[in-house]
Structure 1
Amino acid sequence: MEIKELVHKIHSCECELVLAITGGGTEAIGELLRYGGGSATLLEAIVPYSQSALDAFIGRKPEKYASARTARAMAMTAFQKAIMLQSPEQKRFEHLLGIGATCTLARNGERKERQHELHVAVQSLQNTTSYSILFLEKRDREHEEAIVSRSIINMIAISCHQDVVITDGTGLSSQERPQIKQVQAIEGISNMLLHEANSYNTLPSFVRISGQDRNTHHSHKIMFSGSFDPCHKNHLKMARIASRKYGLPVHFEISLLNVDKPPIDYISLEDRISSIKARYEPDFMGDIFVTNAPLFSEKAIIFPDSTFIVGADTMKRLFDPKYYRPGDNLYSLLEHFRTKGIDFLVFSRKGIHIEIPAEIEHIITIVSEDEYSDDGISSTQIRKLQQNK
C-alpha cells in the first residue's frame, strides 16, 4: 500500500495518538502531517533526541537507549500524555495510543561491529505491542531512515485496525524478520492506567493475580512490595525468613504506577509476574497482587494490619518527603501507619548502612546479619546479564 493511502486510512479511523521518536525515523511525523487531516490523529509528536532529553521524558536513565524496553517506556509515557491531551468532551480512552520508537542507525565514523536496530512499541488501554528488528544488510543512513519511518507508520496503521502487512513498504530483506510481541491487559488492570502516578484523587485498589488465596485466613498479613524485575533468589530468601519469623505466608505486591517513572507496561508486568511464578514455593509464599499504590501510605489503605518487607534502600526512601502524600509530614505519616496497623521488616543491602531515626523505631524491625546477609545480587545485574547472552 502506498504511504499516502495508508496515512489517509490512519486519519480516517478514530485513533488519537502521541508519538515519541529518538535516534531516527522522524520522517514518520512529516508523513502523518504531509497529506492533511493530521489533526484528527496526532495529538503531539515529541523528539527527545539527546540522552538527557530521553532520560527526562521517561523519568530515568535507561540501561540501553535503543531497546524494546526503552521503546515501551516511551510508549507508556506517550500514552499518559495522550490521556491528558484528549479533549474533555471525548474521554474515549479505548481509542488512545502512545507510540515509542528508538533506534541505532548508520553514522559517520562508527565502529565496524556497531549494531543497527529498531524498536517500536505501542501502548493502548487494552494492550502493549512491541516490534523489534535487527538490520542485517548494510545500508546508508538515508535508506535506514526510510525503513524506520515506514515501520513506525505501519505499526500505527495496524494499531488503528487498518489492514496492512507489518513489513509492507519497509524494504526489509527476507532475512530481516521482526520480533513482535503483544500482551493484553489483565482483567481489572487497565483502568489503573487512567490515573497518573502522582494523582491522589482515586482510592488505591488491587487485583489478585494468583496464589493460594491464603490472605483471608489471617487478620495480619506479610506483604513484600517490590518491582521484582525480575524476582530472584534473594527475594525468596527474604520472604522465607519473614514467613518463618511470623508463621504466615508472604504475599507479593507490584505497583503498576510509579512516583517518578511511567507506569509498568503490560509486557514488563507479565515478565515480572512470571518471574515470581517461576520461583513460587507454596510453603511460604501466598498471593500475587498488582496495585495502583506506589506509596506505602497508599499500600497501607489496601492492606491494613500488615508487616511490609523492605530492603535498606527502600527504607531510606520510605520517609523521604518526596514520597509523602500531599499535605503529609513525618508525624502525620506515622499516625497514618499507626491507625492502619502497619510496621516494617527491614533487610540489609550490601553497601547500604541502616540508620533508624528514633521517631520511627517503634514500627521498624531490622533483620540481623546472622539471619540474612546480602550478597549484592540485584535485579539490575540480572537484567544486564540477560541482555549480554
Structure 2
Amino acid sequence: MEYLWKLCTYVGFMDNFTNETIEKIHESDLKLSMSIAGAGNHSISWMLNVPGASNTIVEIVVPYAEASMKNFLGYMPDSIVSTDTAISMAVQSYIAGYSCGGRSSNMVGISCTAAIATNRIKKGDHRAIIAACSKDSIKTYLLVLNKGERTRAEEDLVVSSLLISVVAQQAGIKFPIGHLLKSGEVIQIDEVSATTQMNLLSDNKIPYLKFTPDGGISYNLPEAIQYMVFPGSFNPLHDGHKKLVQVIENDSPVEVIYEISIANVDKPPLLPEEIIDRQSQFLGQASVLVTNQPTFIGKSKKIPIRNFLIGWDTARRIIDEKYYENKQDMIESLLDMKSRGIIFYVAGRVHKGSFKRITDLNLPDMFHDLFVEIEENKFRSDISSSEIRDQR
C-alpha cells in the first residue's frame, strides 16, 4: 500500500477505490462545476479520465494567475487562500454551471484554494480550503497539513483526494480519506450562515443571493428572458406591489422576482438585519433577490437579466444625469443596456397630484424603445410605502 501511495504521488495515478468512486459519481445525477487554485490538480485528471465524465462535469476553471482570479471573481481577494475566497469561487462556479448546465437541480459548485509545499519556504500553514455550493446550502472544508512531513506531490494528492471526497458526498457516495491524514490533521467542516453570505454580498465578493419563499438562500435564477426583476425598498411591501406583480404574471409567461439592494443612490446602505427583516415580509409568498448594486447598469451586469419592472418615479431617475458621473456617462450607460436588449416596464404613478405616464418623461428619441408602458387600465395603484410609513 505504501509503495502504491508513493507511485501515485509521482505519476498522478489513482487507486482502484478512487476510480470506482468516480465511476459512481459519473453514474449519478450530479452536475459539477469546479474552480481550483493552488492544489488539487490531480482531481481534474482523475475526474476527466474516468469514462462518463461528460455526464457529470459542466465546467472546470483553474484561475491560477492573479489576473485570472480577478477576472473569475470580479475582484482581487486580499488573500486567495481564505474561506471567503473559497466561498466566492464556489458561488461563481455554481452560477456558471447552473446557467450553462441545463439549470439542473443537482448542480453543485465546488472550489478549492490551497497553499502547499513549493520551491521556497512558506511562512504560513500548508492548507486547503474547499467550498461546496449546492441549490440550498454552502459548506466549507478546511484541512491544515502538517508542515514539512510530505513532498509537494504528496500534499497535492491529499488535497485532490479531499476534493473527490467532497464531490462524492454531494452525490451521496462515501469516500473516506482518513488513512491519508497524519497525526493531528483534522478536516473542519462548517455550514456557511445567511449572515456570512450577506456580509460577502455587502463586500461585493458574491454578485447576488436569492431568498426563497421558505426563507432559504439560493443562487438559482431562470433564463434571462423568463423573469423580470422588480427593484424597490419594499419598506413596507404593500398590496400595490403585489397587484402589479399579479398583472404582469397574468399577462405574460414570466416570473417576477422582487429585488432589494443593500446600496442605494438616495439612501444609506441597508444593514444585514434590515435586509432579513424586509425579506421576512415575503415568506411563504415570493422570492427576493438581494444585490449590492444601486444603479441599473450595475444590476444588469451582475445578474443575467433582460427585463425590469419599475414605477414612473424610478424611470424618471434612470434618465436623470445627476445619478451618473455626467451626461455622457448617462448616455453611454443607457446605450449599453439598450445594446444588451434590456427593457424597463413602467407603471404610472401619481406625482404632485397628477398621474404620470411615460409620455411625461420627455424621453430622448434614442431611448424610447428602452421603456414600455403598463397601461393605466391594466394597473393603477396610488398606495405608496412612504405614506404607509408616515401613517404609522
Alpha-carbon distance between aligned partners in 1 of 2:232 and 2:240, rounded to the nearest angstrom = 19
Alpha-carbon distance between aligned partners in 2 of 1:8 and 1:168, rounded to the nearest angstrom = 21
Q: Does 1:216 align with 2:238?
A: yes
2:229 aligned residue (190, 204, 215)? 204
Q: Which residue of 1 aligns with 2:261?
A: 225
Alpha-carbon distance between aligned partners in 2 of 1:290 and 1:301, rounded to the nearest angstrom = 14
Q: Does 1:76 align with 2:98?
A: no
Unaligned runs of 5+ in 1: 229-236, 240-251, 253-271, 308-313, 343-358, 360-389
Alpha-carbon distance between aligned partners in 2 of 1:205 and 1:46, rounded to the nearest angstrom = 33
2:84 alignment partner AA: R
With over 3 angstroms needed to count, the CA separation of the structure-2 counterparts of 1:120 and 1:207, relative to structure 1, is farther
Deviation at 1:69, TM superposition (A): 1.6
Q: Which residue of 2 aligns with 1:262?
A: none
Alpha-carbon distance between aligned partners in 2 of 1:36 and 1:84, rounded to the nearest angstrom = 24
Q: Which residue of 1 aligns with 2:74?
A: 59
2:44 aligned residue (29, 39, 43)? 29
SS at match of 1:3: helix
Q: Which residue of 1 aligns with 2:143?
A: 133
Q: Does 1:5 align with 2:20?
A: yes
Higher helix share: 2
Q: Which residue of 2 aligns with 1:85?
A: 100
Contact 1:206 1:290 in 2 (8 A): no
Alpha-carbon distance between aligned partners in 1 of 2:129 and 2:331, rounded to the nearest angstrom = 36
Deviation at 1:54, TM superposition (A): 1.4
Alpha-carbon distance between aligned partners in 1 of 2:163 and 2:116, rounded to the nearest angstrom = 15
Q: Which residue of 2 aligns with 1:49?
A: 64
**What TM-score do the two structures reach when normalised by structure 1?**
0.57
Q: Which residue of 2 aligns with 1:181?
A: 191
Matches within 5 A, 1:287-302: 290-291=288-289, 294=293, 295-296=295-296
Q: How big is each residue's C-alpha offset from its partner over 1:93-151, in whole Å with a ceiling of 9 and x where there is no partner?
A: 2111221111111112234x222221111222222222222334433211210111011
Deviation at 1:52, TM superposition (A): 0.9
Deviation at 1:305, TM superposition (A): 7.2
Report which of the two structures shows the higher radius of gyration computed on alpha carbons. 2
Alpha-carbon distance between aligned partners in 1 of 2:95 and 2:187, rounded to the nearest angstrom = 30
Alpha-carbon distance between aligned partners in 2 of 1:176 and 1:168, rounded to the nearest angstrom = 9
With over 3 angstroms needed to count, the CA separation of the structure-2 counterparts of 1:301 and 1:49, relative to structure 1, is closer
SS at match of 2:337: coil
Deviation at 1:191, TM superposition (A): 6.8
Alpha-carbon distance between aligned partners in 1 of 2:334 and 2:125, rounded to the nearest angstrom = 40
1:143 aligned residue (148, 154, 179)? 154
Deviation at 1:63, TM superposition (A): 2.3
2:186 alignment partner AA: E
Q: Which residue of 2 aligns with 1:116?
A: 126
Q: Which residue of 1 aligns with 2:167?
A: 156
Deviation at 1:274, TM superposition (A): 5.1
SS at match of 1:327: helix
2:261 alignment partner AA: S
Contact 1:192 1:292 in 2 (8 A): no
Q: How many residue pairs get matched? A: 283
With over 3 angstroms needed to count, the CA separation of the structure-2 counterparts of 1:109 and 1:15, relative to structure 1, is same
Q: How big is each residue's C-alpha offset from its partner over 1:307-350, in whole Å with a ceiling of 9 and x where there is no partner?
A: 8xxxxxx8649948457762189xx99x98996689xxxxxxxx
Contact 2:262 2:290 in 1 (8 A): no
For the aligned residues, what is the CA RMSD? 4.8
With over 3 angstroms needed to count, the CA separation of the structure-2 counterparts of 1:224 and 1:275, relative to structure 1, is closer
Q: How big is each residue's C-alpha offset from its partner over 1:213-242, in whole Å with a ceiling of 9 and x where there is no partner?
A: 7453999xxx983269xxxxxxxx947xxx
Q: Which residue of 2 aligns with 1:99?
A: 110
1:94 alignment partner AA: S
Q: How big is each residue's C-alpha offset from its partner over 1:67-98, in whole Å with a ceiling of 9 and x where there is no partner?
A: 12212222222222223432xxxx45211122
Alpha-carbon distance between aligned partners in 1 of 2:82 and 2:105, rounded to the nearest angstrom = 26
Larger mean CA deviation between 50-59 and 296-305 belongs to 296-305
With over 3 angstroms needed to count, the CA separation of the structure-2 counterparts of 1:44 and 1:238, relative to structure 1, is closer
Q: Which residue of 2 aligns with 1:273?
A: 272
Alpha-carbon distance between aligned partners in 2 of 1:276 and 1:114, rounded to the nearest angstrom = 37
With over 3 angstroms needed to count, the CA separation of the structure-2 counterparts of 1:57 and 1:168, relative to structure 1, is same
Contact 1:129 1:183 in 2 (8 A): no
**What TM-score do the two structures reach when normalised by structure 2?**
0.56
Deviation at 1:195, TM superposition (A): 4.3
Alpha-carbon distance between aligned partners in 2 of 1:191 and 1:175, rounded to the nearest angstrom = 32
